[in-house]
Amino acid sequence: MTDTFVGFQRLAQLHSIRLVQPLLIRSRLGAVRQREVVDGRSLLTWPAQYQPADSFRGHFEFGLKYERLHFEFFSRLFAALDPEDVAAWVRDETTGRYARRTAFLYEWFTGRRLDVPDAAANVAYVDAMDAGQYLSATRADRVRRWRVASWWRRFVLCLRINTNQVRFHPWKNPPHIR
């Protein structure tokens, strides 16, 4: 039986992305929800009701909800992705927290501005990442365009905090971020 991957692993398959640092979490569909850990990497199994739409939008939202941030993956994915995939999502869900987070991430990693209007001023800010789960700045930078609070825009590295281990994810700021 072959695994039916979902989330970031599925997007890596769809876009033929080869990572230097493998994803720390891979998600697949199965009969019952479970977690297996091998060599510090988790394989999560999700029942059918968690299955996202087999599209960029469906799998990326799933990954943001249930998997860990992976900057190398984001950089490679957004370089391979048609910007219209992100722009269409934002146009369909102008106040959607995952659409806005994705648009922010796309612009941050690529340095390219999406051809969509800014988020409305009455939309609540959403965190780009959970500052309780990652080592981050003590104060977020608020990005008005997407109404996103960025905890790492000036960071050189991002750490995942875990009771068992801390994983280092080095990432230098792209040249368009000052």
**What pLDDT is stored for residue 40 in this prediction?**
87
Q: Which token pair is 100?
A: 């806005």
- Angle at which helix 56-66 crosses helix 97-110, to 10 degrees, equals 100
Q: Greatest CA separation found in the chain?
A: 49
Q: What is the pLDDT along the chain (178 residues), one digit of tens a residue?
A: 468 999 999 999 999 999 999 999 999 999 999 999 988 899 999 999 999 999 999 999 999 999 999 989 999 999 999 999 999 999 999 999 999 999 999 999 999 999 999 999 999 998 887 766 666 666 778 889 999 988 665 544 445 555 555 444 444 444 444 3
The Cα–Cα gap between 71 and 50 comes to 24
Q: Identify any residues that bridge with 141 across adjacent strands, giving them in sequence order.
A: 150
The Cα–Cα gap between 130 and 38 comes to 25
**What pLDDT is stored for residue 101 in this prediction?**
94
The Cα–Cα gap between 138 and 120 comes to 26
**What pLDDT is stored for residue 150 in this prediction?**
82
CA distances in angstroms from 7 to 60, 61, 141, 153, listed in the order given: 6, 8, 27, 24
Q: What single letter denotes the amino acid at residue 159?
A: L
**What pLDDT is stored for residue 153 in this prediction?**
54
**What pLDDT is stored for residue 96 in this prediction?**
96
**What pLDDT is stored for residue 157 in this prediction?**
47
**What pLDDT is stored for residue 166 in this prediction?**
44
CA dihedral sign of residues 165, 173, 61, 97: positive
